[in-house]
Amino acid sequence: MNSPVELEKHLRAETSRTGLSKTCLQRDFLNNLFFVLGKFPGLASQHDYYLALAYTVRDRLLARWVDTAETYMQEGSRTVVYLSAEYLLGPHLGNNILNLGIEKPVREAVTELGLNYNALLEQEVEPGLGNGGLGRLAACFLDSLATLEIPSLGYGIRYEHGIFAQEIVDGWQMEKTDTWLRHGNPWEVVRPEWAVEVKLGGHTERVTDAHGHEQVRWVPGRSVLGVPYDTPILGYRNQTANTLRLWCAEAVDSFDLSTFNRGDYWGAVHRKIESENLTKVLYPNDDQIQGKELRLAQQYFFVSCSLQDMLRIMRVQGIPLRHFHEKFAVQLNDTHPAIAVAELMRLLVDEHDMAWTTAWEVTRHTFSYTNHTLLPEALEHWPVSLFARLLPRHLEIIYTINAGFLDGIRWACLGDPATVARMSLISEGEERQVRMAHLACVGSHAINGVAALHTELLKQDVLADFHAFMPQKFTNKTNGVTPRRWMALANPRLASLLNWRLGEGWLTDLTRLRELESLVDDPDFRAEWRDIKRINKARYADYVRRVTGIALDPDTLFDVQVKRIHEYKRQHLNVLHIVARYHRLRMDPHLDLPPRTFIFGGKTAPGYTMAKLMIRLVTAVADVINRDPVVKGRMRVVFVPNFNVRTGQLLYAAAELSEQISTAGKEASGTGNMKFMMNGALTIGTLDGANIEIREEAGPENFFLFGLTAEEVAHRKREGYDPMLHYHTNPDLRAALDLIRHGFFSRGDGELFRPLVENLLHHDPYMLCADFQSYLDCQTSVDDAYLDVEHWTRMSILNTARSGKFSSDRSIREYCDEIWRVKPVPIGREARPSQSSPCEG
């Protein structure tokens, strides 16, 4: 008789649930519809059919997933751990089908059953577990880690309600609750047996152990249970399936029967509700102290869960805790998980009796820290009073870390009090605060920025003191994006053309796109390139018409700015150009300008009043221009609501001009700029973030550059910048601002946009007025280039051809080689069944 292990392996290899043929897929699809969902075709909805297909595809992942975990455990593989408060994953179904390489048989299987493949893909609700670029970068990195066969674990939060669904009502952003879990999530597997307890609040006590040593005991005010939900992250056309583990908060005791029996029905369930609120919503409004406390509690919750889970893995694999940093390379994705430094120290010292000096060595060699911002307000800091109330033991640990760190700084700087104050983990002032970025810097062995300019500005400004005292920690790792989702999935026609011309290997070696340079002078290839772009534009225009009712002309230049709405990203500079262009056409309708469609998208924080007013300005300008017969067919403006990963896939493939116009020195990197470039859009932008490297790769002649440099911005501000000088001396700027402030776009209401206009004229913190004329001149260069169709096509091809650097595969290789020191671990067993599959017998 076979052993249970041998039998399990035999069943895993032979079961029809791993078959990739059309027949196997159809049979398992119907089995899942019946046995998992309890439906038959006459009763099933389109969403039921989506779920049946999702479970059918997930079954094909499970063998790889189990094999991957088993291999990592047997080999004791060094593992990358990615700690991130956000993961903007996008829809799973299409991505997993792509990575498995089974689109053709899946399409055939569902088509023969009378179903529409694309319609089933549309049924998936996108998990909005992130706010923008930070969460999407994390998702791209997970994709590359699996594709490069790097042992890895992603940890985060399973928010019940993710980023809000955006609607535009009367021109204003309105937020609707995201309910992505309403119909369940077929891609996750709950692991209640690995749940952990997380303490909050309370106080600490000093106790003496049996050996006479003083120890600290944390007496919590309450505890919550962290339950892990696992999602497989599949590599592209390999056998690796890594894990994303998201934590959900539950009550330790969900129902108090004695309280219920006393008639206190609310009290009986109060603890359950309070505990579950911890992971209820992505980024609670932290304007009030209650919101701040919930946000800090969220961050600590997922970090504590994750570190406790890593300790469990150490126990299972029999690895001594002093080797924790050899087993795990933990990356802090911005400051949100920075509390991990103090929590690992607490676990090692308080829970496992490790000596402080040993624990500190382990901790410092475990963590590395990625900084994602140059904006001081985005460098998290928490009131000491809040820390003392919520995490009293961690505050003590941070004080101890700070004392030792500042002793070293005093020695190095000869006691200079200003330097000591600037570098302290605690800021002194009206309200003492814990500086989380400083904690991350002190507790990590490596610190990196995410674009060359960003890293230099960190060294020179934001973290200048830390760079002065520990320069060896600093390195640059320019961001990247996965070409699997952002080219193959988003732009299948372009991917097919590239497969035909280059072979399929380019998706895992994006530097091969350079081979397109030899085709740039081939008129037939350029014609194919234009045809694909035209089809993609028509596809996106159809989507916009369905969502907004606005008709777009695919034969106009698609000029696109989609990103989080923020003053430093300067969507209002784009609007000023649109208004100036509109004014010029109204003054002279015979101007020879190529027709343009201006497309905006993006969300802003519910409490960010100025950014919401910027959205209202876009919609107001759109309403006037789109109804004006004088510019009909020559200008169109649209704000497309609820920009997300799915709509991004449509838009990046359709865009022709990418607006990357942030104030120089403000954008850390940007990743949308990379997605546009890969899909053949040309960039108009400042020397900011990754724009600099995009321009270097594409060539200056294939990039539309304007604006002040970061150094010039700083110089102007030091010298005393006065935006009114530009208003008085630039007639185009004055005409545009006057149209807005005199109510032309607001039905005569001169008050509506007054806060925005007054801010520009009297403050202009992001230098719109200073960059306006340069931006206008550059837009004229765009017009001239677009009128030369063949020239524009060459520039478009060369942008794609030279985008290879911006693959997240390159980014991850650099992290692996230079920070994490981790090697690939191939998963050797071939998971594909033989041709004599049981389904076909």
Q: Which residues are catalytic?
A: 372, 563-564, 569, 671, 675
Name the β-bridge partners of 106: none
Q: How many CA atoms lie within 13 A of 577 on its CB side?
A: 26
Residues 654 and 537: beta-carbon distance below 8 Å? yes
Q: How far apart are CA 517 and CA 521, in angstroms?
A: 8
241-251 and 222-234 as β-strands: parallel, antiparallel, unpaired?
A: antiparallel
Contact indicator for 598, 779 with CB cutoff of 8 Å: no
Range list of H helices, 169-286: 257-261, 265-276
The whole-angstrom separation of Cα 291 and Cα 284 is 6
Q: Measure the CA–CA gap between 636 and 421, rounded to whole angstroms.
A: 53
- Residue 495 vs residues 121, 252, 500, 511, 528: alpha-carbon distances, Å: 19, 50, 9, 15, 12
User: What sign does the dihedral 75-76-80-83 (CA atoms) show?
Assistant: positive
Q: Which tokens sit at 557?
A: 């230049």
Task: Quote the CA–CA distance of 333 and 5 in Å, as a whole number.
Answer: 39
Specify whether the CB–CB gap between 700 and 799 falls below 8 A. Answer: no
- Residue type for 380, please? E
Nearest-CA neighbor of 106 among 31, 22, 185?
22
Instruction: Name the CA radius of gyration of the chain, rounded.
Output: 28
Edge to edge, the sheet with strand 682-685 lists 635-639, 596-601, 557-562, 657-660, 682-685, 704-705
- Where on the phi/psi map is residue 746: left (φ > 0), alpha (ψ -120 to 50), or beta? alpha
Q: In this structure, which amino acid lies at residue 41?
A: P
Residue 836 is classified by DSSP as S
- Amino acid identity, position 373: T
For residue 512, give the DSSP letter.
Answer: G
β-strand pairing of 172-176 with 433-435: unpaired
Alpha carbon of residue 719 to chain centroid: 37
How far apart are alpha carbons 19 and 148 in whole angstroms?
24
Contact 617, 523 (CB under 8 A): no
The CB-side HSE value for 642 (13 A sphere, CA atoms) comes to 20
> CA torsion angle for 284, 289, 293, 294 (degrees, to 10)?
-20
- Rounded to whole angstroms, how far apart are CA atoms 651 and 251? 42
CA atoms within 13 A on the CB side of 345: 24
- Token digits for 562? 């989609």
Cα–chain center distance at 182: 23
* DSSP state string for 335-372: STTTTHHHHHHHIIIIIT---HHHHHHHHHHHEEEE--
Q: Which of 124, 107, 126 is nearest to 116 (CA)?
A: 107
Question: Which residue bears the tokens 């000088």?
Answer: 725
The one-character DSSP state at 600 is E
C-alpha 664/C-alpha 453 separation (Å) is 10
The DSSP H or E segment spanning 298 is helix 289-317
Pairing of strands 196-200, 222-234: antiparallel
Residue 679 tokens, joined: 């899909």
